[in-house]
Chains A and B, each alone.
Chain A
Amino acid sequence: MSAPALRCESLSRWYGEVQGLAGLTVTIESGIIGLLGPNGSGKSTLMRLLTGQIHASRGWVEVLGERIIPGTYDIFRRIGYAPGEDVHFESERSVDFLKLMARIGGDSAQQARERADKALELVGMASKGSVRLNAMSKGMRQRIKIAQALLFDPELLLLDEPLNGMDPISRRKTLDLVRDMAEKGNTVILASHVLHEVEGVTDHMLLLHHGRLLAEGRLSEIRELIDQKPRRATVRGTELSKLGASLLADDLVSGLEFVDDGCIHLDTRNLPELLERLQIAGEEGLIHSLETDDQELEMIYDMLVGGSAR
C-alpha cells in the first residue's frame, strides 16, 4: 500500500507572535485537493513546510512517506513545487531556466534539454523557450513556474496560487493540466483563493483560516457538517407576509426577514420540504423568483468563517 501523499500531525508555525499555522493534523491520500483560504490563512506557510523551506515550530509533516525537514532533497525527485513567489531569474531565457532546474536535479545537458522542451510543451509555451523571463507577462511566468514543477514527472504536485495573473484561457488550460495529472494517478495540492475555479477541478477541500483548519473533506461532507446552520431561501413575490406567517405556523422556517414589500429571506433547517411548499405557492402565482444558497463553496466558506471570504 503506497504512503499517503501528505500526513501531518500538530503542524504549527509561528512568526514571532503571529500564528502562521496552528496545530494542523490531516492525512491526504491522493487526488486533487484544493487548499483554500483568504490571504494570510496559512496556505503558503503550509506549502513551505511541505517543501522544507521553513522549520516547523511544532509537529511534523510527511510527504509521500518521507519526513520533511529543511535540507531534505531526495524527495524532490517525486515532488514538483511551484511557489507563490515570482521567478526572479530575470535574465534567463525560459528554456535555460528550465534546463538549469533539470541539471540541478542531476540530468545531463541533453536530458535537461529534453525535459525542458517537454515541460514547455505541457504548459503551452513551446514557442516561448527563447524569451527571457523578464520579457514575459506575469501569466507567462506563472506557466513557466508550473513547467519547472513538472520537469521530473512528479507524483505529487504542489501549486501555490498558480492561477494568479493568468488570462481565462491559460487558467482553463492549467486546470485541464491539473485534471490530467490526477487522472494519471498523481496527487495535486492546489492552493488558491479563486474558489469557483478550484471547485471546477475538485470537491475535496482543505479550508484554512487564520492558520487553523476550518474544515476538511468533500464539499458535500462539509456541507453536512454545518447543517446545524439553517439554509436560506430568498423569495420574491406577492402576499409574502401571509406566506411567511403560514410557514412559521407550520414550523417550516426558523426565521424570516422582510427585505422589502416584495422580498423575503427564509431560514430553514428543512429545505426540501420548504421548497415543496414554495412550489405550491409558485403554482398559485404568488412567487416571482426563488433563490437558495446551494452547495457553493463561497457560501460554505462564508458560513464557516462568519464573514466575507473576499
Chain B
Amino acid sequence: MNAITAVARFSFWRRASGLKLLGPSLVALLPCLMMAIILLEEPIDAFDLYRDYMVPATLYFVLPLVCMFIMLPVLSELYEKGSIGYLYTRPAPRWKMLVGMYLGAFAATLPVFFIGVAGPMLLGLASSDSASFGEWISLSLAIFAILAIAGLAYGSICIFIGVKTKRPIIWAFVVLLGLGSTMGSLPGAGQEFSLHYYLISLAYKWCGITGSKTDLFSPLESVASVPESLFILFATSAAMMAFTAVAARQRDVL
C-alpha cells in the first residue's frame, strides 16, 4: 500500500499544486457563467435553468474536458519526457504505480467538480426563491456524485489513452466527446454503448430531470436503472485500469 499511497499523493500534488487547477476550474464554471448571462436576459427560474439546461451541459462538456485537463497528462507527460523510467525501475509492480497515479489525479478532479457544482448553486440561491435550500443542496450533491463516479470512469479512459497512444488528445476527444457525449445524446440503439447514456440515466434518477430541454439531452425511451448504471461505470473503470496495466507492460520507455 505504501507504493500506491505515495504515488497517489505525488500524483495529486502534481496536478493540484500552484495554479494548475485554475484552468479546469474556469472550464467547470462556464455553465455558471452561462446561467448568469441567461438570468440577466430572461425571467427564468434559476433552479429549473440549472437542472434542465446546465446539468446536461455539465455532463456533455465540462465532465470530459475537466477529465482531459487533469487526467490525460498524468502518464502521457511522464512517457514523453522519459521520467516514467524512474517509476518503472522501483521494486514495486507497475500496476501499483498506475493505480496510484490514477487515484491521485482523480482526487484532483474532485475540487474542480465541487467548484463546478457550488458556483451555480450559490448563484441560484442568490437569484431564485422558487426552490428551497434543501432542494439546491440535494440537486448539487446528486450532480457532484454523478461527476465523481463519471470522473472515475472517464479518468480511467484518459489514463489508458495516455499510456496506449502517442496522440492522447485526439483519441480522448474522439472517445470522450465523440463516442461518449455525442453518441450518448443521439437517439437510437447506439446510446446504450456510450457511458454518457448511463450518466444521463443517473441524472434522470438522482436529479429529477424529467425531459429534454436541449439537444444535448435527448429524451430517453428507456432509462437504465441505478444499479445497472453504477455497475457499468465502475466496471468500465476497473476494466480500463486493467487494460492500462497491460498497455504499460507492452509500451517501451524510450
Asked if chains A and B are in direct contact (CB within 8 A), the reply is yes
A residues near B, CB below 8 A? 15, 48, 51-55, 70-71, 73-77, 79, 81, 83, 85-89, 91-92, 99-101, 103-108, 112, 148, 152
Q: How far is the CA of A79 from the CA of B92 in the complex (A)?
A: 13
CB neighbours (8 Å) of B96 from chain A are: 104
A100/B94 contact (C-beta < 8 A), A53-B88, A70-B249, A148-B86 known: no
Ordered by A's residue number, 6 sampled pairs between the chains whose C-beta atoms are within 8 Å are A71-B249, A73-B92, A83-B89, A88-B78, A89-B83, A104-B7
Could you list 14 further interchain pairs (A-B, Cβ under 8 angstroms) beyond the known A76-B91, A89-B83, A100-B7?
A: A15-B254, A51-B85, A53-B252, A70-B249, A71-B93, A71-B94, A73-B92, A73-B93, A73-B94, A89-B10, A100-B10, A106-B91, A108-B2, A152-B91
Segment 51-95 of B: residues with Cβ below 8 Å from A: 78, 81-83, 85-94
Q: Which residues of the other chain, B, contact A55 by a CB distance below 8 angstroms?
A: 252
Contact status A91-B3, CB under 8 Å: no
Cα–Cα distance between A71 and B96 once the two chains are bound (Å): 12
The total of interchain contacts (Cβ-Cβ below 8 angstroms) comes to 96
User: Do residues A104 and B83 form an inter-chain contact, with CB atoms below 8 A?
Assistant: no
Task: Say if the beta carbon of B137 comes within 8 Å of chain A.
Answer: no
Known: A51-B89, A89-B83. A104 touches B253 (CB 8 A): no
- A105:B90 contact, CB within 8 angstroms: yes
Q: How many whole Å from B246's CB to the nearest CB in chain A? A: 10
Q: Check B92 against A105 for contact (C-beta < 8 Å).
A: yes
Residues B3 and A103 in contact, CB atoms below 8 Å apart: yes
Does B164 sit within 8 A of A, measured CB to CB? no
Chain B 17-33 interface 0/1 with A at a Cβ cutoff of 8 Å (1 = within): 11000000000000000
Give the contacting residue for B81; candidates A73, A88, A103; CB below 8 A. A88
Q: Which residues of B sit under 8 angstroms from A77, Cβ to Cβ?
A: 91
Across the A-B interface, the 10 shortest Cβ-Cβ residue pairs: A103-B6, A85-B82, A53-B253, A54-B252, A88-B83, A77-B91, A76-B91, A104-B90, A88-B81, A104-B3
In the complex, the chain B residue whose C-beta lies closest to that of A84 is B82
Tell me whether B205 is interfacial, beta carbon within 8 Å: no
Q: What number of B residues sit within 8 Å (CB to CB) of A? A: 31
How far is B94's CA from A103's CA once the two chains are assembled, in angstroms? 14
Which B residues between 75 and 122 are near A, CB-CB below 8 angstroms? 78, 81-83, 85-94, 96-97
A73 touches B91 (CB 8 A): yes
Q: Nearest residue in A to B77 (C-beta to C-beta)?
A: A88
CA distance A88 to B252 in the complex (A): 18
Chain A residues within 8 Å of B90, by CB: 73, 76, 101, 104-105
CA distance A148 to B10 in the complex (A): 16
Q: A70-B249, A101-B90 are in contact. Are A107 and B85 (CB under 8 A)?
A: no
Render B125-153 as a binary contact track against A, CB cut-off 8 A, 1 for contact.
00000000000000000000000000000
Establish whether residues B14 and A91, one from each chain, have CB atoms under 8 Å apart when the complex forms.
yes
| CB-defined contacts of B94 to chain A, threshold 8 Å | 71, 73
Given contacts A48-B253, A53-B252, contact A76 B89 (CB under 8 A): yes
In the complex, A55 Cα to B251 Cα: how many Å? 9
List chain B residues, Cβ under 8 A from A52. Answer: 88-89
| CB <8 Å contact, A104 and B6 | yes
Looking across the interface, which residue of chain A has its beta carbon closest to that of B20?
A91
- Among residues of B, the one whose C-beta sits closest to the C-beta of A50 is B89
Are B82 and A83 closer than 8 Å at their CB atoms?
A: yes
CA distance A89 to B78 in the complex (A): 9
Interface centre among B14, B17, B91, B253 (most CB of A within 10 A): B91
Q: Which residue of B lies closest to A77 (CB)?
A: B91
> How many angstroms from the CA of A71 to the CA of B253 in the assembled complex?
12
Q: Cβ of B91: which chain A residues have Cβ within 8 Å of it?
A: 73-77, 104-106, 152
**Distance to closest chain A CB from B12 (angstroms):** 12
Task: Give Cα distance in the complex from A152 to B89, angstroms.
Answer: 12
**Is A85 touching B88 in the complex (CB atoms < 8 A)?**
no
A104 and B17 contacting across the interface, CB-CB below 8 Å: no
Q: Are A107's CB and B2's CB within 8 A?
A: yes
Q: Given A48-B253, A104-B6: A53 and B86 within 8 A (CB)?
A: no
Chain B residues with CB under 8 Å of A71's CB are 93-94, 249
Q: Give Cα A75–Cα B91 distance, bound, in whole angstroms.
A: 7
Are B89 and A81 in contact (CB-based, < 8 A)? yes
Contact between A53 and B85, CB atoms less than 8 A apart: yes
Shortest distance from the beta carbon of A184 to any chain B beta carbon, whole Å: 20
Would you call B85 and A85 a contact (CB within 8 A)?
A: yes
Choice from B18, B82, B85, B89 contacting A91 with Cβ under 8 Å: B18
Contacts of B97 in A (CB 8 A): 104
Please indicate which of the listed interface residues A88, A91, A100, A104 has the most CB atoms of chain B within 10 Å of its own CB.
A104
In the bound complex, how far is the Cα of B55 from the Cα of A48, in angstroms?
48
Enumerate chain B residues within 8 angstroms of A88, measured Cβ to Cβ. 78, 81-83
Nearest residue (CB) in A for B249 is: A71
Q: Which residues of A contact B2 (CB under 8 A)?
A: 103-104, 106-108
Q: Which residues of chain B are near A91, meaning CB under 8 Å?
A: 13-14, 17-18
Name the residue of chain B whose CB is nearest to the CB of A101: B90
Most A CB contacts (10 A, CB to CB) among B14, B250, B252 go to B252
Q: How far is the CA of A52 from the CA of B249 in the complex (A)?
A: 10
- Given contacts A85-B82, A85-B83, A91-B18, A54 and B253 within 8 Å (CB-CB): yes
Q: Which residue of B lies closest to A81 (CB)?
A: B89
